[in-house]
Amino acid sequence: MTLRKLLLSVIVGATFVACGSSDSAAKETNTKPEMTQVKEGEPIVYTLNSTISPDKQLPTVIDFSATWCGPCRRFAPIFEETAKEYKGKAIFMSVDVDNSPETARQFEVSAIPQVSILMPDGTITSTVGFMDKDQFVDFISKAVK
């Protein structure tokens, strides 16, 4: 019985520590979203929790994914290749739903991979599930000219 209480205390204590450090980290983060682009023409990787606002001129194509998601990993090179082909016609960004839950909530992500297109007027079109290159190009070509 003593071992059970000790184990329960450790679990409860670890939960409070994790929640506490999470809250303090959230307070210290910038309110301005941080975006990184590894190489010119590659999709922007969205790294902080924030809302995404529409660009005034170009549609924004957003890939919602996670590192542990097999279909997401299979879709990533298709997304990157298409982003290079459509450079200047749209903004492409990838959002890791585990690192950016607020952003995922903004786009009502309930399953991944999800691709959402945010139009300059604020309308959003989304699709869920793995797409091959032809399916992806067909999906975005309706919004990206």
- First-residue to last-residue Cα distance in the chain: 68
Q: Do residues 136 and 127 make contact, with C-beta atoms less than 8 angstroms apart? A: no
**Which tokens belong to 34?**
């941080």
> Of the listed 72, 95, 104, 109, which one is catalytic?
72
> Of the listed 52, 61, 62, 69, which one is catalytic?
69
pLDDT category at 82 given cuts 50, 70, 90 is very high
Instruction: Give the pLDDT mean for 33-60.
Output: 61
Active site residue 19: no
Q: Does residue 83 sit in the same domain as residue 129?
A: yes
Give the count of domains, the chain.
2
Q: Identify the pLDDT of residue 52.
A: 79
| β-sheet bridge partners, residue 28 | none
Range of the domain at 97: 35-141
Measured torsion, CA atoms of residues 85, 87, 88, 92, in degrees rounded to the nearest 10 = 120
SS3 76: helix
**Which tokens belong to 56?**
């005034």
Q: Does residue 18 sit in the same domain as residue 67?
A: no
Q: Does residue 98 sit in the same domain as residue 47?
A: yes
CATH number at residue 60: 3.40.30.10
The pTM assigned to this predicted structure is: 0.67
pLDDT tens track for 18-40 = 333 233 333 333 333 444 444 44
Q: Does residue 51 sit in the same domain as residue 117?
A: yes
What's the number of CA atoms in the CB half-sphere (13 Å) around residue 82?
26
Distance CA 33, CA 37 (A): 13
